[in-house]
Structure 1
Amino acid sequence: MRKNTYIGIAAIVLIFGIIVLPKIYQRIINDDISRGGRMHQEGGELINNAPDGLVYINQNGIDRKVPDFEFLNQDRDTISNLDYKGKVYLVEFFFTRCTDICIPMSHNLKSISKKFEGRNDFGIASFSIDPEHDTPAVLKAYKKSYDVTNPNWHFMTGDRAQIRKLSNEGFYLATNEEGDEKDLYHSGLFALIDKNGFIRSRLDPYGNPKPYYRGFVPMDAQVPEGGETSEIDILVEDIQKLLQ
């Protein structure tokens, strides 16, 4: 079973690498997504990059913010991006019937949530890419199965096209394209959002923004040489920077 799971994870990572990474790379070399060391603009005035050391993701001269969204959560409450205002939070796209990367993703998010337990300024936004199956009742049972206690961790469902647009165009976190309904797939990455709704990032060794964090690699995984390593530890560090 474990072997099949890791084969599935490897397949998802391969698909992501073939489809998505070239697009991100092309945006970087075209300066659609800026490199590090830039200035951030607020209120018409340039200011230095925030003292937390995490850069803003800039596309075509605009710092990327979370797009407006509004979906139902596991309690059938309407949740929007405004509910996360003033909070540092993580974004993921998943589905409850997933038997591969969603499992380590959910366990990693649970571990992260526990580290910031009791903080009202930290949250998680989990969007289902399988809304026909993942009704509020199903999401509520899923939340219970992971013993989620953070009141700011919402599992959301809604119109498939809107969720697809939010993932692919709002975050560039790849999920099924329009008309591609045969299989469900997603990147297995987490996005980090600051209290003002900006997508934030640390820099890679080459000075380029690293927009996402690997959420699909278990924290305690034995990684073979050349394999994908866990980024949960550095994600926790960056959350702490934004919370300070």
Structure 2
Amino acid sequence: MSKNKSYIGISFIILVFGILVVPRIVERIKNDDIVKSDRLNIESGNGRNKNASLYTKGPAPDFSLTDQNGKIITKADYKGKVYVLEFFFSTCPTICPKMNANMLKIQDAFFGNRSFGIASITINPENDTPDVLKKHAETLGVKSENWHFLTGKRDYIFDLANKGFNVYAGQLPNGNNGGFEHSGLFALIDKDGNIRSRKDKDGNPIIYYDGLSDQGVADLEHDIKILLDE
């Protein structure tokens, strides 16, 4: 007898749930509310919240450099655009080929979007003249008119990297690794010229994206889309 009462009780609870809750779920599906609210709980493979508000570090440093076409490019030329910035050099035998390949993926993902750009700044300007950078861009298969390969005075560029963006770039006295070393980080900059980034699973801003890993590039592409929609 007690078992029958238990079954009746459970059946009653299920009936009430169906009457009160299921219609609300159906209504939320019609209004797309489930998607809107539950997106905030989706995380990427490395535990980073993919849809949390992006952190604003502050304004990116001003710069004025010459691109592969001999044109002076400044931070102002990227005003109103979301862009990714890196430091590299064309003869780099170590991490640059991987960075180049990943930056090409980013180019292709947003190709044709005039609100997106890329800035690649050489840390070996003595070798990387505009003509050299133009050939380098052609060899890579660069198609975007908003991807500028930039060169200038070495001390100016090193200060821009180490003091402006606070990403390491240096020269090696023994000539190893092509004579220079640098980080494999990509900076993400919004339409207003601010450095932006996502936060890690503990809520700390990552500041810059790993340009050497597939996950870092996937995170970057996702966050570029967020900024393009802002």
Structure 2 residue matching 1:195: 3-state secondary structure: coil
Is the Cα contact below 8 Å between 2:198 and 2:205 reproduced in 1? yes
User: Does 1:68 find its partner at 2:62?
Assistant: yes
Structure number with bigger Rg: 2
- The aligned counterpart of 1:103 is 97
- The aligned counterpart of 2:200 is 204
Structure with greater proportional helix content: 2
Report Cα offsets for 1:153-205 as digits up to 9, x if no partner.
0000000011001101111110017xx65530000100100000000011111
- The aligned counterpart of 1:56 is 56
**Unaligned residue ranges in structure 1 (runs of 5+):** 1-50, 58-63, 220-229
Tell me, in whole angstroms, the C-alpha distance in 1 between the residues paired with 2:105 and 2:212: 13
Structure 1 residue matching 2:84: 3-state secondary structure: strand
Match of 1:139 among 133, 137, 161: 133
- Percent identity between matched residues is 45
Q: CA RMSD in A?
A: 1.4
Is the Cα contact below 8 Å between 1:52 and 1:241 reproduced in 2? no
Match of 1:186 among 182, 187, 191: 182
Is the Cα contact below 8 Å between 2:52 and 2:198 reproduced in 1? no
Tell me, in whole angstroms, the C-alpha distance in 2 between the residues paired with 1:152 and 1:122: 7
Report Cα offsets for 1:197-239 as digits up to 9, x if no partner.
000011111111110111123x3xxxxxxxxxx3111110000
Is the Cα contact below 8 Å between 1:52 and 1:242 reproduced in 2? no
Structure 2 residue matching 1:176: 3-state secondary structure: strand
Mapping of 1:8-23 within 5 angstroms?
Answer: none
Task: State how many pairs are aligned.
Answer: 175
What displacement does 1:52 show?
6.9
- The aligned counterpart of 1:231 is 216
User: Does 1:112 find its partner at 2:97?
Assistant: no
Instruction: Please give the TM-score of this superposition, normalised by the length of structure 2.
Output: 0.73
**Unaligned residue ranges in structure 2 (runs of 5+):** 1-50
Tell me, in whole angstroms, the C-alpha distance in 2 between the residues paired with 1:201 and 1:79: 24
Report Cα offsets for 1:52-101 as digits up to 9, x if no partner.
710111xxxxxx21111111100111100000000000010000000111
Is the Cα contact below 8 Å between 2:80 and 2:191 reproduced in 1? yes
Tell me, in whole angstroms, the C-alpha distance in 2 between the residues paired with 1:203 and 1:215: 16
- The aligned counterpart of 2:10 is none
- The aligned counterpart of 2:162 is 168
Structure 1 pair 206–52 and aligned structure 2 pair: CA distance change class (3 A): closer
Report Cα offsets for 1:104-148 as digits up to 9, x if no partner.
101101111111011110000000000000010110000001111
User: Does 1:127 find its partner at 2:121?
Assistant: yes
Is the Cα contact below 8 Å between 2:111 and 2:144 reproduced in 1? yes
- The aligned counterpart of 1:82 is 76
Amino acid at match of 2:55: V
Q: Which runs of 4+ in 1 moved over 4 A?
A: none
